[in-house]
Structure 1
Amino acid sequence: MSNIHPSAIIEEGAQIGADCKIGPFCFVGPQVRLGDRVELKSHVVVTGDTSIGEDSVVFNFSVIGEIPQDLKFGGENTKLEIGKRNRIREHVTVNTGTDGGGGVTRIGDDCLLMAGVHVAHDVQIGDRVIMVNHSGAAGHCIVEDDAIIGGISGLHQFVRVGRGAIIGALTMVPKDVIPYGLVQAQRGELDGLNLVGLKRRGVSRDDISALRSAFRELSEGEGTFMDRVNRLEDTDSDYVREILEFVTGASDRSFLTPGK
């Protein structure tokens, strides 16, 4: 049995899991699927072809699953998929996808979207991502596992943020960010590695040393950025190899590169 406030509106066709809590003045659309023990606090709108995984909580005045803010959108049926155990705080907006971007916006498991966050159409967010108050990801961005996006920061459309990277507050990110990178300054600059995050996750000293050596090569080595990347191919560190695979993978943007 779910606990649904009498002032909430649940459209016919919505699928409500076991032990959900739906607070006062919430609206749940006809294509919505809520997993077990999902909680909608109050004045929450969940609409569109949207699924929210079990044990997630959506706080007051959030709007989840509305159509994209894209003038090319023509009303086609696109989706939003949100995983398990997410915390979506007040006034968050998350849009469905577009046909041109694959049709699905995705958020993984165990993420925290703080107050006022915006996740645009076709964005792909991994697991354990934190987006701090009033940050935003424009259309088609990819944010990999364990990344942190600082408050009042913005990701330009099509930007990729690698696993374990951290974006400082008040930062505009116009280019891809390598895994474990540290980005700060008003117009984002790759300024080092997320050493604090690496240590918190228990990464070994050897791997951290390998990452620091790789970053020095990327920032101080001779030749172009890709020349420096290619010189790291003989590494024994899985973490350094992850950076190499990220940089040599498909991208619609260029990369933030370390300054010398």
Structure 2
Amino acid sequence: MSNSSIHPTSIIEAGAKIGDRVNIGPFCHIGAEAVIGNDVSILSHAVIMGATTLGDGSKVYPNAILGGEPQNTKHKGGHTTLTIGRNCTIREGVTMHRGTDSSRGYTTVGNNCMFLAYSHVAHDCDIGDNVTFSNNVMIGGHVTVGNNVIIGGGAALHQFVRVGHHAFIGGLAAVAKDVVPYGMAIGNHAYLAGLNIVGMKRSGMARPEIHNLRHAVRMLFDRSKPVYKRAEDVRLEFSQSPAVIDLIDFILADTKRHYCTPPLGSGIETSDSDDNS
């Protein structure tokens, strides 16, 4: 614990591993199986329970509770884990639960993620890198969220839902189906409203690749035949496009949920207001 600062009112249980240059504020509780990385800041009244690993450079705000037991009646108290990556920001009142001993047994959060106040990550979830949960976002167990995803305030994701890379989910959306990579889901229940063009531009995606995705989703959802059959046509048409292949692999993967589609009688919006192409 070289150069670390721990407030005297905080409890650090025997066995906890605290990295270098860690700052732990007042009235925190760090459990015996916790592993805290270097350069971590934990503000007042935060609790880190169970076998929870918190990556280097992360910051935890007051009243966050990390590593609680899963809210799952199938869990019988076995050893499970929560692993949080580097440089994550975890704001006030955020909760994240460990995995269940009857399932994969671990919950994972990637690097450079931001969880705004009172958002929740349930048991056995897998969260990618550079993900943002806005205030009060709730996700059920076994949810998978890809890289560079943004979820708007108050949105809720049903258990086992998958969200592909670079997707955007609007505020207050109720997501009961998978959201394809680069897609934009809105509404209650959520439907596919278009592509997350703004997010793709911000991530530095090349313009030709964005055009490939636009054409690919139009082919996928033109309703001339089932999407699964159209998917193979799209794969052949855009075989040199990594983004499109990512989209098709997501569509064809085995999953417990269907995926969000455009509403009946409407097309899919694939442009944005500030696009000049």
What is the TM-score of this pair, normalised by structure 2? 0.92
SS at 2:231's partner residue?
Answer: helix
Within 5 Å, give how 1:106-145 maps onto structure 2: 106-145=108-147
Aligned residue in 1 for 2:224:
222
**How far apart in 1 are the matches of 2:172 and 2:189?**
9
Alignment pair present for 1:249 and 2:253: yes
Contact 1:16 1:34 in 2 (8 A): yes
Aligned residue in 2 for 1:20:
22
SS at 1:145's partner residue?
Answer: coil
Aligned residue in 1 for 2:42:
40
SS at 1:183's partner residue?
Answer: strand
Superposed CA offset, 1:48-106 (max 9, x none):
00100100000000000010011121111100000100000000000000122210000
SS at 2:228's partner residue?
Answer: helix
Alignment pair present for 1:195 and 2:197: yes
SS at 1:182's partner residue?
Answer: strand
Contact 1:66 1:96 in 2 (8 A): yes
Contact 1:68 1:98 in 2 (8 A): yes
Superposed CA offset, 1:130-171 (max 9, x none):
000000110000001001111100110000000000000010
Superposed CA offset, 1:204-229 (max 9, x none):
12111111111111222411121222
Regions of 4+ moved over 2 Å? none
Structure 1 unaligned spans of 5+: none
Structure 1 range deviating more: 214-223 or 60-69: 214-223
Q: Which amino acid aligns with 1:240?
A: V
SS at 1:51's partner residue?
Answer: strand
57, 60, 70: which one aligns with 2:59: 57
**How far apart in 1 are the matches of 2:95 and 2:203?**
30
- Identity over the aligned pairs, expressed in percent? 42
Structure 2 unaligned spans of 5+: 267-277
Aligned residue in 1 for 2:183:
181
**How far apart in 2 are the matches of 1:202 and 1:12?**
46
Instruction: Report the aligned-residue RMSD.
Output: 0.9
Aligned residue in 1 for 2:269:
none
SS at 1:98's partner residue?
Answer: coil
Q: Which amino acid aligns with 1:210?
A: N
Contact 1:218 1:258 in 2 (8 A): no
**How far apart in 1 are the matches of 2:66 and 2:217?**
39
**How far apart in 2 are the matches of 1:168 and 1:36?**
35
The aligned length equals 260
